[in-house]
Chain A
Amino acid sequence: MKYAYYPGCAAEAIMKEADETTRQVARILGIELIDMKNATCCGAGCLDEANLELSYVINARIFAIAESMGLNSIMTICSTCLQTMTKINQELQSDPELLERVNKVLRKTGTEYRGNVQMTHLLWVLVKDYGLDKVKKHVKRPLNMLNVAAFYGCHTLRPAEILGYEDPRNPKSLDLLIKALGGKTVDYRGKTRCCGFHTLLVNERASLKAGGKRLQEAKDKGADCMVTPCPLCDVSLDVYQSEAEKLYQKKTQLPVFNLSQLIALALGVDVSDLSFRKHLVSPKKIISAVIAAEG
């Protein structure tokens, strides 16, 4: 299994641990990730607001890089990259006039997009392509002490007609993955709702309250921790958790893991390599419980 690997800007900077642990997980599972060194940011649904035509060209250039590497599948670990790139890719693939217009620009820079690339996400790769039975075989440190709240993130689910992987009102993939890692799952209202990230810099208060609400909803249903497939959700839910607590005047202190960190933990990666020290809400107790159970 081989993918052109597109971690996205957040996983290359503020949430570097998501990228680092994804590489470890891929190495253990035998999934080959090839770096796309000259790929830009996808624009995250913001570039198209500033300049729609430019966002087509910038993304087509990224898809063309994958084609030039001889690969037709790009794997990301960011929900917003997934949604932004899938949407633009579908428009390029379904509108030959648009594709030609975009290629007219790209050809002047020595490249071209032929329309043969598909987008995917680490979560989908593991559930759909790799198989959870195979993941299970690699589990060295089962998470059976943990009640894990799956937080899907908007941009792996909606809009369904663009992403189309699973029912956005009743998704299963992340819950199934948690179970495959030996954890227990938590059913809660916020599972398919929003962390508020995309308005953090515009309406900070509303954004923080949205994230805080999701954390409270999970905590109220007995979650020990939360897991997200998106580094942007991680920022809202972990980094800004204490700010949300201040607004609600209510402590949640719910540790939030990036998907790849939790998988790496279950696959037995040395705890010191999982960057847990970077969490704003300490997951120390959770890690100790998992290690104690491992014996």
Chain B
Amino acid sequence: MRKKILIRRFDPETVDESFLQAFNVDLPQNATILDALIKIKEEQDGTISFRKSCRSAICGSCAVTVNGVAVLACNSQFKSISWVEGDVIIEPLGNLPVLKDLIVRFYPFWHEVEKTMPWLEPKEEIGEKENIVSAEDVAIIDESANCIMCGCCFGDCTIRETDDNFMGPAALAKAWRFVGDTRDAIKTERLELLSKACNAWDCTRCNLCIDRCPKGVRPLDQIVRIRQEAMKAGIKDNKGARHALAFQSDIKNHGKLNETTMPLKTVGIIRSLGMIPMALRMQMKGKVPFPIQKDIEGIKEVKKIYKIMEVDE
């Protein structure tokens, strides 16, 4: 098959801005994006730069963006890139500074991983005896342990795109790998760190990381696990936890969410004052509902559920 491929080129030593360069290349039916890059480099332009190593989706070095979707070049066959209609556009991974062509500087990614203390702090002194972990206990950290640090989730992360301080999905998934490890001694310390601003609670639950991960790590699922564990550990003095608790209390008290009082419960009185101009504009458009809500029919049953389940306030 003959394919027209556009590659984003950039060399800080020769150009000020990146540009797309077109190549036409003949490829076998089962060719991957990486096959195409190698062929173009060998036959048409030896100056094109990209990373690669194992060609087997194990090393995680060849992540690129193909028509807006971060993928591993080595395991993306042309026949499987269902979202591409027309020319194939290969660009560097997003949310990281470009060094040259398709090569990005990975330091910001590693910096976030490092913040999570990605090592085990053993509970006891390491002795001669093995420390057996049950299959059940391994299962809850199994997905997160599959991460190959390719950066696909990070490259397309919604919040990392708009906030350089957000930890990003890969680091948070790695954090869960140790929070969830029964042998670890500093679980609470980890959860306290992860509950701070720009960490676990800042994720907007867009699920792009689950979609992009080539290894089934499901980073968002691990982020939710961190949040659940943090709440169980009583770390609730932050906006994210207060927001989740507001849902719990609104459902109990009225059945439905109270959108008028939700900001107050989540961000507190002082910060809510800053929202008044916005609230007034919404009020003028008839968008702010009356703050005192009518209970749903059957609210007694709901309250009974809370009582039976002994839900703490």
Contacts and interface: CB of A to CB of B under 8 A. Distances in A.
Task: Answer yes or no: do A and B interact.
Answer: yes
Contacts of A61: 301-302, 305
Interface in A222-247: 239-240, 242-243
B163 A51 contact: no
Given A40-B255, A159-B211, A170-B85, A207 B204 contact: yes
A278 B285 contact: yes
Nearest to A12: B256
A198 B83 CA distance: 26
Contacts of A58: 251, 302, 305
A170 B288 contact: no
Contact of B211 (A43, A110, A169): A169
A277 to B, nearest CB: 7
Interface in B287-308: 287-289, 296-298, 301-302, 304-306, 308
Nearest to A53: B309
Size category of the A interface is 35 or more
Nearest to A275: B286
A239 B298 CA distance: 32
A94 to B, nearest CB: 16
How big is chain B's contact interface, by range? 35 or more
Contacts of B250: 41
Interface in A151-178: 154-155, 157-160, 167-170
Interface in B262-313: 262-263, 266-267, 278, 281-282, 285-289, 296-298, 301-302, 304-306, 308-309, 311
B277 to A, nearest CB: 10
Interface stretch (A117-125, A189-197, A249-257): A189-197
B161 A213 contact: yes
Interface string B71-87: 00000000000110100
B89 to A, nearest CB: 11
A199 B166 CA distance: 12
Contact of A203 (B197, B278, B281, B288): B197
A46 B210 CA distance: 18
Contacts of B247: 41, 43-44, 46-47, 50
Interface stretch (B18-26, B107-115, B180-188, B236-244): B236-244
A206 B162 contact: yes
B282 A194 contact: no
B205 A205 contact: no
Contacts of A207: 162, 204
B198 interface: yes
Contacts of B288: 14
A39 B207 contact: no
A41 B251 contact: yes
Contacts of A205: 162-163
B245 interface: yes
A57 interface: yes
List the 5 closest pairs (A to B, CB-CB), nearest first: A38-B298, A158-B207, A194-B206, A209-B162, A169-B83
6 contacts: A38-B301, A40-B255, A47-B248, A52-B228, A167-B82, A202-B240
